Amino acid sequence: MSAMHRKRVVRVPASSANLGPGYDVLAAAVSLSLELEVEETGRFAVESDLPGIPLDRSNLCVRAFERLRPADGLTFRIRSAIPPSGGLGSSAAAIVAGLAAADHMFELDADLFALASELEGHPDNVAAALYGGFVVCGPERVVRIPPPPELEAVVVVPPTPVPTSEARSAIPAELPIADAVHNIGAAAQLVLGLERADLSLIASALRDRIHQPRRKHLYPRSLEVVETAPKIGALGATISGAGPSVLVWCEWQQTGQVVEQLRARFPDTVVRRLNFTDLGADVRAL
């Protein structure tokens, strides 16, 4: 243990990946967060009141931290409002939190994005968690777009989780060219709509033909929400990551009525009004 008693608090946002047509390329940070506190206490411990979270070195925050530095003598305290295995980037947030804490605590200047992408297995959620806003994960770099101010999000969480591995295996290795072309056009339009804060362009670009139809059997309830959203005043809706959570896109003046309608029509789900957030991972020394 060093002479100086070090303590860091990291806040990392939840994220929604794919955003309809942008499979494994587009994601957005949303205003639910995970908070990780790492303190030099002289003993290794993991403290959290989250159900089912490992309290040993297999904990994802600790595993990520230990990619950069051993966790001996450190106490990890984890609080999170992000539902686990719901498609809202809970694992990406944990990975980014652990890496950012180690990087800041030991002044390492590590490539957090590369490390986090490697640990998570795909770049979209970790990019949004790290940088905030909307992210486009291109072949060589990540581009960030600030959220349009009139755009709000509602998250609908169905009661039955979907294992990410099952969702991944539902996508074949090869796809019909027509589906690929549709998604390229829609993803390009969606990015333009976000960049221009053009909500009608965004609304016309949220339909996907690559992953959502092929996973329909895993989350039929979620796709009901996607189909219903445009009929009740929303711009549209997309399956969040591997599901089953659904991201419902709203113009802010319509959000209240959309929430009411969703609660009335889907009483078995949890409906939460959220903002898209410009804030990525944030580390403070205490």
Binding site: which residues?
83-93
Sign, CA dihedral 268-224-201-143, equals positive
Q: What is the DSSP letter of 220?
A: H
Which residues lie closer than 8 Å to 65 by C-beta, 6 or more apart?
38, 71, 74, 76, 98, 99, 101, 102
Q: Per the structure block, which two tokens stand in for 89? A: 């980037």
* Binding site listing for ATP: 83-93
Q: Per the structure block, which two tokens stand in for 79? A: 């609080």
Which residues lie closer than 8 Å to 22 by C-beta, 6 or more apart?
124, 136, 183, 187, 190, 191
Provide the 3-class DSSP secondary structure of residue 90.
Answer: helix
**Residue 198 and residue 192 in contact, taking contact as beta carbons nearer than 8 Å:** yes
Q: In 3D, which of 117, 86, 88, 81 has the Cα closest to residue 27?
A: 88
**Residue 86 and residue 161 in contact, taking contact as beta carbons nearer than 8 Å:** yes
- Say which residue the tokens 């640990």 belong to: 119
Nearest-angstrom CA–CA distance, 206 and 217:
20
